[in-house]
Structure 1
Amino acid sequence: MPFHESVFCARRVERVFAECFLHSENTVLCGGAEEPLYAPAVHPGEPHRLWFREDFFASALHETAHWCIAGSARRQQVDFGYWYAPEGRDPEAQAAFEAVEVRPQALEWCFSVACGYPFRVSTDNLAAEGGVAADHSAFRAAVRREALRLSGAPLPRRAAVFYRALQLEFGRSGPLTPALIRATAAQPD
């Protein structure tokens, strides 16, 4: 399927996520946020909320990847108990950011394959680089290695459920394989 921006509406991802996890995990995916945030329910009966940036399709896939990786204890904490430093990180903070982003970005790549959406590795630090292209090749390579590893083994349960549901929603089929990851080489950030 050729890339058509109108096909890749984040509302479709929200709907698929709700179909998969609203009842079983009491969690909804919500767009419109200035910054992504996971907010566990505070009051009985309300759902946990997984917020993604504005209406960005890639952000919706990325945040669902974080959620699929987080264990039950982490899903009881705001932002899964992780820190987030905004753009403008120094090299040490950027290295720490990249270390925790390898697996979520690799799983996002798998979800992108399920949708037929082009995946782009994100270093999320353009402000600190001041227009100078920093070398993130090691990070991109680590994300690729992890995506290949994930595609060569069964995905974790929630990720597998979501992957299959995305395939159905976007008219794709077949197992996730390393060949699919290789065929969809990530674009540089």
Structure 2
Amino acid sequence: MNHSPNDLIMLFNDLFREPFRTILVKGGSEPEYLPADGPSGLARVVFAHGYYASALHEISHWCIAGEHRRTLHDYGYWYCPDGRTPEQQRAFEQVEVKPQAQEWLFSVAAGTRFHISVDNLSGDGACDEQQFRANVLAQAERYLAEGLPPRGQQFFDSLKSFYGTTPDFDSAWQQDVQRLVPPNSLSDRVRNTETV
């Protein structure tokens, strides 16, 4: 299956350009969110290097951001770059659970490979990578049971329709869960917390 970021641009812009005055665009080295510069302007979700996965991740952030946050550059968040301290990494991991859970569902809906990212290669890595994976999985499962945020649900449904993954989504999801969060890692995590 071919995965072109141009398809994501088309799907996103078809869904959200008019009702939310927002477009998805390819960018350079850093992703960012640029709010509209006036009542007739368009907000821009900019993804890095034209990468498909970067587009899905940035769309995930946009689908979660509330109305006020969408009026602020980068949703008003300060990004602490790679090389974070353990305290900064813990805060990063807490904020990233929902976007990565949604991105994971988007990836399976598109039939592409998702990678959980702790995004701290120059630092000490994850505070607790197994727990982070379990948290992302739990949030994704919650989204599947209760529904994604409204814009996220629209985009998720659009991806499944465009890539024809609706009939096989459940089995593809279960296979990807096994790949990224093997059952033994979850049972080890439960055993470790029970002995504490």
TM-score over 0.5 for the alignment?
yes
Deviation at 1:173, TM superposition (A): 1.5
If each structure's helix is expressed as a fraction of its own residues, which one has the higher value? 2
Deviation at 1:42, TM superposition (A): 1.1
Contact kept? 1:87, 1:124, Cα under 8 Å: yes
Deviation at 1:176, TM superposition (A): 6.3
Provide the C-alpha distance between the structure 1 equivalents of 2:53 and 2:145, rounded to a whole number of angstroms.
23
Deviation at 1:135, TM superposition (A): 4.5
Deviation at 1:31, TM superposition (A): 1.4
TM-score by length of 1: 0.87
Question: Among the aligned pairs, what percent are the same residue?
Answer: 41
2:23 aligned with 1:28: yes
Over 3 Å counting, the alpha-carbon distance change for 1:149 and 1:133 in structure 2 is: closer
Provide the C-alpha distance between the structure 2 equivalents of 1:153 and 1:117, rounded to a whole number of angstroms.
23
Aligned to 1:181: 173
Contact kept? 1:147, 1:181, Cα under 8 Å: no
Deviation at 1:32, TM superposition (A): 2.1
Aligned residues: 180
Deviations 1:84-134 (A, max 9, x none): 1111111111111001000000000111111011111001111114xx887
Structure 1 stretch 151-160 or stretch 90-99: which is displaced more?
Answer: 151-160
Over 3 Å counting, the alpha-carbon distance change for 1:170 and 1:73 in structure 2 is: same
2:162 aligned with 1:169: yes
Deviations 1:35-78 (A, max 9, x none): 11111011332210011111111111111111111110111111
1:63-142 correspondence runs (5 A): 63-129=58-124, 135-142=128-135
Aligned to 2:57: 62
Deviations 1:131-168 (A, max 9, x none): x8875111111101111111112222111111111112
TM-score by length of 2: 0.84
Structure 1 moving runs of 4+ over 6 Å: none
- Give RMSD over aligned pairs: 2.1
Instruction: Look up the equivalent residue of 1:137 and give its one-letter code.
Output: Q
Higher RCO (CA 8 Å, separation ≥ 6 residues): 1
For structure 2, which runs of at least 5 residues remain unmatched after alignment? 182-196
Deviation at 1:187, TM superposition (A): 4.0
Larger radius of gyration: 2
For structure 1, which runs of at least 5 residues remain unmatched after alignment? none
Over 3 Å counting, the alpha-carbon distance change for 1:20 and 1:111 in structure 2 is: same
Query: Match for 1:144 among 104, 123, 137?
Result: 137
